Amino acid sequence: MDKIAVLIPCYNEEKTIGKVVDDWKRELPEAIIYVYNNNSADRTAEIALEHGAIVRNEYMQGKGNVIRRMFREIDAECYIMIDGDDTYPAENGREMAKLVLEKQVDMVVGDRLSSTYFEENKRPFHNMGNTVVRNSINTLFKSDIRDVMTGYRAFSYEFVKTFPVLSKGFEIETEMTIHAIDKNMYVENVIIEYRDRPEDSESKLNTYSDGFKVLRTIFRLFRFYKPLGFFSIIALILLALSVGFFIPVFAEYLRTGLVLRIPTLVVCGFALIAAIMSVFTGLILSNIQEKGKRDFEMELIRLHDTSKR
């Protein structure tokens, strides 16, 4: 098992990957640096090899697919995940590794948003999107994560080996964050100095399509991790519809003593039944989720014991 593994997912980063590898070899000379090449059409893999990194390939396109491969193949006491575009400083790497190795932190988040991100990043919709995603997750999951979508993180062995990678693309960071919050894992924030990409380096992010994927991921994970809250919201909406349909029928009944809008009353009844069913669905799924958390804790204990042998 490696002591520290630096994981760099890459797709067409020949302009910056050499500097990134050199920076990490300087800051953490004891670390093993892995570059995972994701079907690059340029010299990314060749340059990474020239600068002393271990290069492996993932042929399924997408950052989530690359991270799945990394987490499966590499065993280390501490993992540091960094992008290959030279936007994150290697100087914070040792501090983040110490938090994992000495304080047993499960995930260290490289917080861009509390420092230079909004000044350095030239894409205003990205700035707004990061703020919306952070506020949404902290509100829905009652957390204090300062940067949800950062690609600069450090992980413990237990986190990596128990994290189920489901996302295929850039929404993977959101999935990691929500997993750590839900499983009550130890999370720390470290403020980092973000710098924008060099002028001749092109971002792979699509503001609108990737932003939509992230929001869809939040919606899906909220339903999965907080089923009682999710289905209670649906129940409240259905209850409001039921009451809205019932009020004119009841008002007419008080005025005339007759129920003349039978179809409306039927719709009112169906909406009320659906609201009740939604509440019970949330309760059942919440109990299943609670059992899943207990099973997860037992898996953590087993994994911890195995890693210490």
What is the SS3 assignment for the chain?
A: CEEEEEEEEECCCCCCHHHHHHHHHHHCCCCEEEEEECCCCCCHHHHHHHCCCEEEECCCCCHHHHHHHHHHHCCEEEEEECCCCCCCCHHHHHHHHHHHHHHCCCEEEEECCCCCHHHHCCCHHHHHHHHHHHHHHHHHHCCCCCCCCCCCEEEEHHHHHHCCCCCCCCCHHHHHHHHHHHCCCCEEEEECCCCCCCCCCCCCCCHHHHHHHHHHHHHHHHHHHCHHHHHHHHHHHHHHHHHHHHHHHHHHHHHHCCCCCHHHHHHHHHHHHHHHHHHHHHHHHHHHHHHHHHHHHHHHHHHHHHHCC
Residue 209 and residue 232 in one domain: no
* pLDDT for position 113: 87
State pLDDT tens for residues 220-274.
Answer: 889 988 999 999 999 999 999 999 999 998 998 888 888 888 888 899 999 999 9
Could you read off the pLDDT of 109-149 as tens digits, one per residue? 999 888 877 776 666 566 677 788 888 888 888 888 889 88
Whether 127 and 40 map to the same domain: the answer is yes
Whether 210 and 234 share a structural domain? no
Domain count across the chain: 2
| Banded pLDDT at 210 (limits 50, 70, 90) | low
Q: Which two tokens stand for residue 103?
A: 């304080």
CATH value at residue 209: 3.90.550.10
Q: Both tokens of residue 101? A: 């190795």
Q: Which of 164, 198, 225 is the last residue of a domain?
A: 225
* Same-domain status, 217 and 231: no
Domain boundary among 225, 259, 286: 225
Whether residues 261 and 274 fall in one domain: yes
Whether 103 has a pLDDT exceeding 90, the answer reads yes
For residues 183 and 50, membership in a common domain is answered with yes
- Predicted TM-score (pTM) of the model is 0.82
Neighbouring CB atoms inside 10 A of 216's CB total: 12
The domain in which residue 219 lies consists of 2-225
Does 116 share its domain with 86? Answer: yes
Q: Are residues 184 and 287 in the same domain?
A: no
Pairing of strands 32-37, 76-81: unpaired
Task: Let me know whether 108 and 35 are in one domain.
Answer: yes
Residues 191 and 234 in one domain: no
Name the domain boundary from 190, 225, 260.
225
Which pLDDT score is estimated for 2? 85
265 shares a domain with 134: no
Q: Are residues 264 and 286 in the same domain?
A: yes
Query: Quick one: pLDDT at residue 220?
Result: 86
